[in-house]
Structure formats: C-alpha cells, structure tokens
Amino acid sequence: MSESRLERRFAALKAEGRGGLVTFTTAGDPDYDTACKILQRLPAAGADVIELGMPFSDPMADGPSIQAASLRALDAGMTLQKTLDMVRGFRAEDDVTPIVLMGYYNPIYSYGVDAFLKAALDAGVDGLIVVDLPPEEDDELCEPAVAAGLHFIRLATPTTDDARLPKVLTNTSGFIYYVSIMGITGTKAASGDAVRAAVTRLKGHTDLPVAVGFGIRTPDQAAEVAAVADAAVVGTALVEQVKAGLGPDGLAGEGLVDGVIDYVASLAQGVRAARQG
C-alpha cells in the first residue's frame, strides 16, 4: 500500500522536528456554506491535520459546546452525505492535507457501512474516529474500514492501562488520540508533566504518532503539548469561536470565518514555536 496522507504528514512533521496542529470543527456548523469556507482555509492558517465532526443528535461523549455545534448543523440541514460532499469539495483544491471524520456509529450504520466506506474513500477521507465502538466490536466498522484502506484511529485515556493498551492498539493506524483528561470534551487541560508521562508510556507500546487533545485553548497550551507529543488537538475552543461569530439571529456573522481562521493561525504559531525535546 502506498504511503497515506496521514503517514506523509506525520513523517514531514518529524523531519521538521515539531509537533503538529490538529483542528476539529463540526461539519455544517453553523451552516453548510460557512463551514465549507472554514474548512477550505484551515490548511493555510496552519492546520496540519483536520478532524471533521459528523453531526449527530446524541453526541454523548462531547461537552455542551460540541453538542450545540452538532445541533446547529443538524438544524441547518446537515447530513452525513453533505459531510462527505464537504470533503469532496475540499479535495478539489487540496489533495495533501489529511482529513479524519470523527463521530458516532449510528449515522454510519444508517448510511450502510459498505456504502459509507466506499463514499468516504471516493470523497477523499483519510481516516475515522468513531468514539462509541470499542475494540471488541471491530468487526462492525474498524476491520472493514482498514480493509478498504481507511485509517481507524482509536482513543486512549488516563485509565487505559498497560493491560488494556494492546487491545486498543489492535487495528489502530494513522495515529493514536490521547484524551488527556477524563470526562466530556471541553473541560480543563492536563498538566505538561502529565502529558509528557502519558506520551512516553504510549510510545512504549506503539510506533504510531500520538496526538493529545481535550482542554487546549491557547497558543501556549498548544505549544506545551506539541513540544512533547506528535500533535496537539484543538476542538471545543475552536467550535466556541464559531459560536462567538454568530449574530443575534443565530446565523453566521460577517466576521465569523475570519475570526475562526485568525484563532487557528495563533494556535499554529504557538505549535510551530515549540520544538520537540
């Protein structure tokens, strides 16, 4: 199999001696056209890898901000098919930046697993993060996805001990996403020392890149994580930038896209200032 976009991107980051910036936005938030504009501009702003959330009506692992983003997108008519259309449109302009779809199994199951995997590959998706499918259910989606040529990225947490890690890492590829704190998204950040210790432990079990997320809000926090991990993931704070750009009517304000992109650029500047030790 030829080297994937994710593999090329993390190899390039390693060659540069820095961690990357992974950005999360919800597809279709606050509406399809605005979300497409944000997506198209993320790479130039400094996003190394893009996570695109698949809106779902019951995002149980997410905090209030991402839950609200999902509902905004669904209320604006977003569907899984439109999420794939967003990726296809992005690929017409950018065939380099990796895109990972993140979300829950229900919309994929409803779409049809085989049909979804084919459509995702055709659109230019590189990998999947499906938070409600544990390794014990790999035959549902993970194994078919890997067989089709998509990376299946798994989450590890502070409670994923050394006995559980090999199971979590089975069939995992692209990178491993370390959730640095327990609980829902959007809560406080872990300390730099805790992140360093966790990354070191994970590296003892896998050669995969380790991306660390949950609670990163500032360029300094992103830099602290990127100095010890292969990438820093920013999601909730980015989604909150979208919300901040809404007008009183709940629709996208004139400066929403620029505000989001400026924020991403500040995070990217922080990440690029951090050299890995």
Q: Are 37 and 254 in contact (CB under 8 A)?
A: no
pLDDT at 18 over 60: yes
Look up the CATH number of the domain holding residue 20.
Answer: 3.20.20.70
pLDDT for 192:
75
Residue 154 in any domain: the answer is: yes
Strands of 127-130's sheet, edge to edge?
Answer: 151-152, 127-130, 99-103, 49-53, 20-26, 231-234, 210-213, 176-179, 155-156
Residue 22 in any domain: the answer is: yes
Task: Kindly report whether the peptide bond that precedes residue 30 is cis, defined as omega within 30 degrees of 0.
Answer: yes
pLDDT for 277:
54
Cα 120 to Cα 118: distance, rounded to the nearest angstrom = 5
Residue 75 in any domain: the answer is: yes
pLDDT at 78 over 80: yes
Residue positions annotated with a catalytic role: 51, 62
pLDDT for 193:
83
pLDDT for 189:
57
Residue 195 in any domain: the answer is: yes
Residue 277 in any domain: the answer is: no
Residue 85 in any domain: the answer is: yes
Cα 100 to Cα 258: distance, rounded to the nearest angstrom = 23
Residue 55 in any domain: the answer is: yes
Cα 204 to Cα 176: distance, rounded to the nearest angstrom = 13
What are 147-158's pLDDT values in tens digits? 999 999 999 998
Q: Residue 113 half-sphere exposure, CB side, CA atoms within 13 Å?
A: 15
pTM: 0.95
pLDDT for 56:
95
Closest CA to 42 of 275, 235, 251: 235
Residue 114 in any domain: the answer is: yes
Q: What value does the mean pLDDT take over residues 75-97?
A: 98
Cα 141 to Cα 266: distance, rounded to the nearest angstrom = 36
Residue with the larger pLDDT of the pair 72 and 185: 72
Q: What value does the mean pLDDT take over residues 13-27?
A: 97
pLDDT for 1:
53
For residue 37, what are the domain limits?
A: 5-272
Rg of the chain over all Cα atoms, to the nearest angstrom:
17
Block residue for tokens 């910036």: 21
129: which DSSP letter? E
Number of domains, the chain: 1
Beta bridge partners of 25: 52
Three-class DSSP labels, 89-104: HHHCCCCCCCEEEEEC
